[in-house]
Amino acid sequence: DTEVTQTPKHLVMGMTNKKSLKCEQHMGHRAMYWYKQKAKKPPELMFVYSYEKLSINESVPSRFSPECPNSSLLNLHLHALQPEDSALYLCASSQTGANEKLFFGSGTQLSVL
Amino acid sequence: AQKITQTQPGMFVQEKEAVTLDCTYDTSDPSYGLFWYKQPSSGEMIFLIYQGSYDQQNATEGRYSLNFQKARKSANLVISASQLGDSAMYFCAMREPDTGRRALTFGSGTRLQVQP
């Protein structure tokens, strides 16, 4: 199994809603990532988890709250988002070696109204 | 300063021809890794090819090859025998493990359109 599965594929939410994005992998990878991608732009790193501990937070606003409940799952909790947070949210995983490739999910397309 | 630079926002190529997508990079990490990913309109990022900074030979993966010129800090992707399904966005990316940045940093991308 070489897949990273993200749910939901599409999400529309209001600015007062609370929602969660989910990501799952069964490749035994111990590093997991959240990236944000605006239209026609490259992915931008948000968070990195290594061995279920948060190792990088790229100064992301607190309305985004990551969680890694176990080595296969990664969540991104969303609360009080702004319309400018509308984007494609990509999850990825990798081995923890120095130059391991990242395996990406197909993303969640988020629209904030 | 940009870590990864892709100077071609868009490229056209005729089906069955070869195309080169440019990528230059900047790093002080001696043991970096360079990656190319393809992103079709469906959104997923598909790994194509990897080149390590200490690799002596250029990487190849099927129709993909990487023209690695370390002194020039360039890592161009060559796609041979283009197919219609190659139409997509292509991102060059770098990993700098010795700086602690084991996540990928991406260039701005090149949109490739293959014409029949």
pLDDT tens, A29-83? 999 999 999 999 999 999 999 999 999 898 999 999 999 999 999 999 999 999 9
Q: How many residues does chain B have?
A: 116
Q: Counting Cβ atoms within 10 Å, is residue B71 exposed (0-12), middle (13-18) or buried (19+)?
A: exposed
pLDDT in tens, B81-116: 999 999 999 999 999 876 666 789 999 999 999 999
Render pLDDT for A88-105 as a digit per residue (tens, 0 to 9): 999 999 998 878 899 999
| Cα distance between residue A107 and residue A89, in whole Å | 5
**List of residues 6+ apart from B41 with CB closer than 8 A:** B88
- Distance from the A65 Cα atom to the nearest Cα atom in chain B, whole angstroms: 19
Task: For A60-74, write each residue's pLDDT tens digit.
Answer: 999 999 999 999 999
Say whether A98 and B33 touch across the interface (CB within 8 A).
Answer: yes
Tokens standing for B113?
């359109």
Virtual torsion, Cα A44, A47, A48, A51, nearest 10 deg: -160
- Which pLDDT score, from 0 to 100, does residue B101 have? 62
Strands A87-94 and A108-112, sheet pairing: antiparallel
**What token pair was written down for A68?**
């890694």
Partner-chain contact A42 B35, CB within 8 Å: no
Q: With contact defined as beta carbons under 8 Å apart, do A54 and A60 qualify?
A: no
Report residue B98: phi and psi, to 5°.
-70, -20
Scanning the structure block, which residue is given the tokens 């081995």? A95
- Out of A33, A42, A109, the one facing B109 most closely (by C-beta) is A42
Q: Is the peptide bond before A8 cis (omega within 30 degrees of 0)?
A: yes
Contacts of B42 in chain A (CB under 8 A): 106
